[in-house]
Structure 1
Amino acid sequence: MASKLKNTEAALLENYRVALENAESQPEIAQELNEIGYSPEVISEGKAIYEETRLAYDTNKTEDDETSVASATFKEKRKELEDFFIVHRKKARVIFRNDEVTQEKLAIDHYPSGAYVKWLEQVKKFYTVAASDTEIQNKLARLAISVDEISQGNTLVSEIETARANYLREVGESQDATKAKDQAFMKLANWMQDFYAVAKIALEDKPQLLEALGLTIRS
């Protein structure tokens, strides 16, 4: 749906660009418009509004693309940490199956939450506690969970936090860009609506010139 909308906006921009370009570059159209009050200066005002809208559109598209990349990066980091942690959790559950106190300390006494924030807190607690407790480290080592892997777990936690922060920032910037783009399109659409209305009057008897502006008159 979003892609279709973007394509529609792109088509609309192209229609506006062609109309303004021809209104300025084709002498007969320019003369007829000038006689009814749409001088080259007025057309230039329309082109300036068009350029503002084009910039807002391009900026919005860039922000949307950056949001998509940030989202993919965040999902990739989450999957990496999930796969990494699930193995360690299974091993730790075996090692501490008769040690409820340590299970609670490592947050492995209950199934990982499906909610992102709660899940990440459980993961963070596991690696933070393991990194600070030599006794736990020694027991985890029995099933090949090394200190280096524990450190890697903490690194992955930091990376996913950074990735999520970047993603949320990009979402905010994309929303702001969308708002600016929508406002620009509204301003341009209003200007073009008046322009088309005037052009139909000025070129009423010259349908071929109206077609150059992207307008057609019903016969």
Structure 2
Amino acid sequence: MSKSLIRYNQLQQAKSIIEASINNDDIEAALDEYGFGLDRLIEGKILLEETEKVHYLIIDEKILNKELIVSLKKLQEHINERFLVHFEQACVVLANHKEAVVSMKLQEERRESFVSWLEQVKAFYLNALLNSDILSLLQSEGINQQEIEELILLINTFEDTYDESLQKKGAVIKAHRRIRFLFKKLNEWVDELKMMAKIAFKTSPRVLREYDLV
């Protein structure tokens, strides 16, 4: 897989978590408290979609001209200035989202959106297990395949036992312990997402050389 295509896949992953946030009332509310409202998420999604178009031109159409180079540079500068710093702040908020979830005691009406978010996390790692490039990238950051498989199993277990846990006090305590462990792993995932976002959006001579744009 080419470096350009790997970066394109990283953009897709970043867009997925943004879409998950937009569709998740809990996360959206938590982000909004930190000044990262729905409008900012939508703006970020639009920026990512525009970036995807540029990558499509580079990867599939192989359109390499001065106009495209200028457009790419301007777009990446815009992303860096208007979105990346806020996206990193959002990752911090997501990492701290466990307090909001636990304080709400995972109310039944919020379960669907929360589980939907976990499905996004699980999908990300399932994709990593099937994609040697992403798996290598994760492993280079100290996240090995066994940890990924354990996280997926943990999410599956959480989903399977959630309803039953709510009905038993002792099981609720056990479930909360699982949640704390789960979020410890999710925090690692958030750090990985931040790193991938930086790679995807970074403007540097090295990146431009990888695209054969200089």
TM-score if structure 1 supplies the norm length?
A: 0.40
